[in-house]
Amino acid sequence: MATATTAPGVPPTPAVPARTPFLAGTRGYVIRKISWSCGTLLFVLVFNFFLFRMLPGDPIGLYSRGRNMAPEQLIKLRAQLNRPIGTQFLEYLSNPFASTINSVRFNRPVWELVGERVWPTVLLVGTAILIASVAGVWLGIRSGWRRGGTFDRVTTGTTNTLYAMPEFWVGMVLLIALPFFPSGGISTPGVTGFLDTVLDTAWHMVLPVTALAIVYLAEYTSIMRASLVDELRQDYLQLARAKGLREDLVRRRHAVPNALLPTMTLIFLNLGFVIGGAITVETVYSWPGLGLLSYEALRGPDIPLLQAVFLLFSLGVVVFTLLADLLYAVLDPRVSTQ
């Protein structure tokens, strides 16, 4: 590329060597993905604010129903909500996670409410996804490698049937069929001590986690199976066999790693939705999680709480999608050089 003409006497600026495309390579890939995520987040922030301002309903009326409130207090509360929308927006933007805003329904700071609900959900859904993905990947590999075999038929038939069953129904059946597990909740009143609490919690988790994992299982199994089947006829597998590798090694070292990408996508997408919770299973097992909180918030509508919950859900999806994108680059270098 030619250098720009400059005034006489001034030394010419050194020539730029070969022009590299803007933000290429792994670093470029990472920067691109991160900035894209930030843009999405910003949009979510703005959208989140105006969406809930457009909903119909009288939040103060809902709040005061059933309370012995004095009229002057109602007027004061209304004045809060009747401030100019611009002022409210600025206040929101300055700190969307502000803990000073109270939930209308629960009369408590929204992030405090969300905070205490988020861990039970992460624990429940996170464990279920972990179990389902590990078991699903294993089942998918086994059945895909011997496609059409007895193991494949049994696995695919069973997981698909389980997948077709509603979560609450699986939950109810487990609850009634296994009466020695607790009928709900996370912990037993009065249990103390670290180890006892952990064991007690694990004991309470058995049924809900099983119910969720059973339903998730089919997704992972079928995706893993399908992508492995795609790899089966690839030439590199023939080559590996021709090298004299054992069938086992061909599968483990060559086929599976290449077939793993779609499954990783699925796992991370699902992890993004973890905080969305599993409303039905949470209901069956009286599990005080975020899914239920968002349902209650929506019924109000409890605008401050809804805003917080939606922001958190969006944040979860955006962050995990970003993580998945970044992991692709690690798992498969081709992604970042394209």
Q: Cα–Cα distance between 291 and 295 in angstroms, integer?
A: 6
Q: How many CA atoms lie within 13 A of 194 on its CB side?
A: 0
Under 8 Å CB-to-CB from 154, ≥6 apart: which residues?
none
Shortest distance (Å) from residue 102 CB to other proteins: 7
Shortest distance (Å) from residue 88 CB to other proteins: 16
Under 8 Å CB-to-CB from 223, ≥6 apart: which residues?
136, 140, 262, 263, 266
Nearer to other proteins, 20 or 73 (CB): 73
Nearer to other proteins, 3 or 183 (CB): 183
Q: Cα–Cα distance between 263 and 269 in angstroms, integer?
A: 10
Nearer to other proteins, 95 or 187 (CB): 187
* Strand spans (E) along the chain: none
- Which two tokens mark 126? 């996170």
Calculate the CA 21 to chain-centre distance. 33
Nearest one of 312, 309, 287, 305 to 62, comparing CA atoms:
305
Nearest one of 212, 215, 222 to 139, comparing CA atoms:
222
Nearer to other proteins, 175 or 311 (CB): 175
Shortest distance (Å) from residue 235 CB to other proteins: 18
Shortest distance (Å) from residue 61 CB to other proteins: 5
Nearer to other proteins, 209 or 311 (CB): 209
Nearer to other proteins, 75 or 90 (CB): 75
Shortest distance (Å) from residue 76 CB to other proteins: 8
Asked whether the beta carbons of 272 and 322 are under 8 A apart, the reply is: no
Overall size of the chain counted in residues: 338
Shortest distance (Å) from residue 118 CB to other proteins: 8
Asked whether the beta carbons of 281 and 171 are under 8 A apart, the reply is: yes
